[in-house]
């Protein structure tokens, strides 16, 4: 019964839950969509030219791990961004967006028992939903670790009991964090790497929001690992063009790690992978090689951070995000706030509890709503004004 049980009890996904919550009501105004983290700024206009110029590639099965050009572009970006030289042939692999890689990582890299026990996979709570399903699919226990205001919105994995750490095979960590916008600093990464070395587990570093920041680029797990001399195989980095380059529909990302880990991931992908079509890989290579559009993207988000700070600066509990493009706004009750907003203003947001799991009867997202700042500036500003007037003006 193990296999059916892995999937028969999955919780409902956030989006169907949201539809069930809101669609039974009339919206109170023209729809302003602030639920999904789907970037709406323009992607570079030349992306479509690259795809057209390389359209003959649709005639070929694409290479499973990524074309040499794409892997070189990825390695070049890692070097520029983190100062770490990786080997294109053995230490990176192209992904169809990071979601796929984050899901498959447990299956590819985590043993089915550890110290004679069922493995544990650690993750923050709230968290990107794929982490939990990745753990369950890999026959492991997902262990939700609070990432709340008390812990600086990052999980304190050191607080876990010894027996859990002894059976831990991997920890997912998202920095900059979705939904809170918190950034793991060098000390955080150093401590996490030390814990992973002590208990011999892997770190799955989801850094897909790393390019959307204010002034200082968030430090990356890879550069900390390199400075510490950590075995690269312990650290598995996930990156994406979805947020950096406003290309969530291109489905292009990558995974980077040491050669042993990448070999295992490639081996799984040889059987189960659905690689990105070659013309799209060519486009992805060109996008990784360009920073101009990324700088412009950051400028647009900076304007929206400023608008958010102006509107919510006086709201008790408001934390201006360090990075990423979400606001994690405090409310009394997340579902009630989302319904009220929709019915009275036409703004749709996501209840925070839909991104978290109950632990000991408490859901760390229940007193928050997540607001995506992805729409154009004026629409975003209009939405934020409506949220303030509806939820925070007394
Ligand atoms: C934290 C986090 N990780 C991963 C992803 C997956 O992104 P993609 O598969 O588009 O690269 C998302 C998308 O919203 C995300 O928020």
Q: Output the CA 375–ligand 1 centroid distance in Å.
A: 17
Nearest CA to ligand 1 atom 5: 99
Pocket test for ligand 1, best of 74, 212, 242, 280 (most atoms within 8 A of CB): 242
Q: Output the CA 389–ligand 1 centroid distance in Å.
A: 31
Q: Are 355 and 365 in contact (CB under 8 A)?
A: yes
| Per-residue H/E/C for the chain | CHHHHHHHCCCCCHHHHHHHHHCCCCCCCCCEECCCCCCCCCCCCHHHHHHHHCHHHHHCCCCCCCCHHHHHHHHHHHHHHHCCCCCCCCCEEEECCHHHHHHHHHHHHCCCCECCECCEEEEEECCCCHHHHHHHHCCCEEEEEECCHHHCCCCCHHHCCHHHHHCEEEEEEECCCCCCCCCCCHHHHHHHHHHHHHHCCEEEEECCCCCCECCCCCCCHHHHHHHHCCCHHHEEEEEEHHHHCCCCCCCCEEEECCHHHHHHHHHHHHHHCCCCCHHHHHHHHHHHCCCHHHHHHHHHHHHHHHHHHHHHCCCCCCCCCCECCEEEEECCCHHHHHHHHHHHHCEECEEHHHHCCCECCECCCCCEEEEECCCCHHHHHHHHHHHHHHHHCC
Q: How far is CA 250 from CA 128, 357, 360, in A?
A: 20, 30, 40
Residues with CB under 6 Å of ligand 1 are: 37, 97-99, 128, 174, 178, 206, 208, 240, 242, 248, 253
In this structure, what are the phi and psi dihedrals at residue 299, rounded to the nearest 5 degrees? Answer: -60, -40
Q: How many CB atoms lie within 10 A of CB 10?
A: 12
Q: Are 120 and 164 in contact (CB under 8 A)?
A: yes
Q: Output the CA 130–ligand 1 centroid distance in Å.
A: 9
Q: Could you identify the atom of ligand 1 that is nearest to the CA of residue 240?
A: 11
Q: Could you identify the atom of ligand 1 that is nearest to the CA of residue 252?
A: 11
Q: How far is CA 257 from CA 137, 141, 275, 278, 287, in A?
A: 22, 24, 19, 23, 21
Pocket test for ligand 1, best of 95, 183, 243 (most atoms within 8 A of CB): 243
* Burial of 86: CB neighbours in 10 Å, binned 0-12, 13-18, 19+: buried
Q: Output the CA 120–ligand 1 centroid distance in Å.
A: 22
Q: Could you identify the atom of ligand 1 that is nearest to the CA of residue 253?
A: 11
Q: Could you identify the atom of ligand 1 that is nearest to the CA of residue 96?
A: 9
The whole-number pLDDT of residue 5 equals 65
Pocket test for ligand 1, best of 99, 173, 174, 209 (most atoms within 8 A of CB): 99
Q: Output the CA 99–ligand 1 centroid distance in Å.
A: 6
Go through the chain and tell me how many residues it has.
Answer: 394
Q: Could you identify the atom of ligand 1 that is nearest to the CA of residue 206?
A: 3
Q: Output the CA 207–ligand 1 centroid distance in Å.
A: 9
Q: Output the CA 208–ligand 1 centroid distance in Å.
A: 6
Q: Output the CA 311–ligand 1 centroid distance in Å.
A: 27
Q: Output the CA 288–ligand 1 centroid distance in Å.
A: 17
Q: Could you identify the atom of ligand 1 that is nearest to the CA of residue 177?
A: 1
Q: Output the CA 122–ligand 1 centroid distance in Å.
A: 18
Q: How far is CA 22 from CA 29, 83, 216, 349, 391, in A?
A: 14, 46, 38, 10, 17
Residue with tokens 């996490």: 192
pLDDT > 90: percent of the chain: 95
For residues 267, 268, 274, 280, the Cα torsion angle rounded to the nearest 10 degrees is -50
Q: Could you identify the atom of ligand 1 that is nearest to the CA of residue 241?
A: 11
The whole-number pLDDT of residue 11 equals 81
The whole-number pLDDT of residue 239 equals 98
Alpha-carbon gap, residue 307 to 71, rounded angstroms: 38
The whole-number pLDDT of residue 168 equals 98
Q: Could you identify the atom of ligand 1 that is nearest to the CA of residue 100?
A: 9
Residue with tokens 């839909």: 354
The whole-number pLDDT of residue 3 equals 44
Q: Output the CA 254–ligand 1 centroid distance in Å.
A: 12
In this prediction, the residues of the chain whose per-residue pLDDT falls under 70 are 1-5
Nearest CA to ligand 1 atom 14: 37
């Amino acid at each position: 019964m193990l296999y059916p049980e892995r999937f028969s009890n999955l919780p409902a996904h956030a989006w169907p839950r949201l539809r069930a919550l809101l669609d039974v009501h009339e919206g109170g105004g023209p729809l302003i969509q602030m639920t999904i983290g789907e970037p709406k700024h323009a992607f570079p206009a030349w992306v479509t030219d690259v795809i057209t110029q390389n359209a003959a590639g649709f005639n070929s099965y694409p290479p499973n791990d990524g074309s040499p050009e794409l892997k070189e572009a990825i390695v070049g970006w890692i070097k520029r961004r983190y100062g770490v030289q990786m080997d294109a042939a053995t230490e990176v692999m192209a992904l169809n967006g990071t979601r796929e890689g984050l899901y498959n990582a447990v299956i590819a890299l985590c043993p089915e028992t550890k110290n004679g026990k069922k493995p544990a996979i650690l993750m923050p709570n709230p968290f990107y939903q794929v982490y939990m399903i990745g753990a369950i699919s890999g026959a492991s226990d997902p262990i939700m670790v609070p990432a709340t205001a008390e812990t600086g919105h990052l999980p304190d994995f050191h607080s876990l009991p010894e027996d859990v750490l002894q059976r831990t095979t991997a920890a997912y960590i998202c920095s900059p964090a979705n939904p809170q916008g918190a950034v793991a600093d060098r000390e955080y990464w150093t401590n996490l790497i030390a814990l992973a070395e002590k208990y011999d587990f892997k770190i799955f570093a989801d850094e897909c929001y790393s390019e959307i920041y204010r002034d200082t680029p968030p430090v990356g797990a890879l550069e900390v690992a390199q400075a510490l001399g950590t075995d690269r195989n312990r650290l598995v980095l996930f990156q994406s063009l979805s947020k950096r380059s406003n290309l969530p529909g291109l489905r292009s990302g990558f995974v980077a790690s040491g050669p042993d880990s990448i070999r295992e991931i490639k081996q799984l992908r040889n059987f189960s992978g659905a690689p990105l079509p070659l013309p799209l890989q060519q486009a992805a290579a060109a996008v990784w090689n360009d920073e101009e559009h990324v700088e412009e993207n950051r400028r647009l988000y900076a304007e929206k951070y400023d608008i958010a700070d102006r509107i919510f600066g006086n709201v008790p509990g408001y934390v201006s995000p360090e990075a990423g493009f979400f606001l994690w706004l405090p409310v009394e009750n997340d579902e009630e706030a989302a319904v009220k907003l929709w019915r009275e203003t036409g703004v749709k947001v996501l209840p925070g509890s839909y991104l978290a799991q109950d632990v000991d009867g408490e859901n760390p997202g229940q007193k928050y709503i997540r607001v995506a700042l992805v729409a154009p500036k004026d629409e975003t500003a209009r939405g934020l004004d409506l949220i303030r007037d509806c939820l925070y003006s007394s």
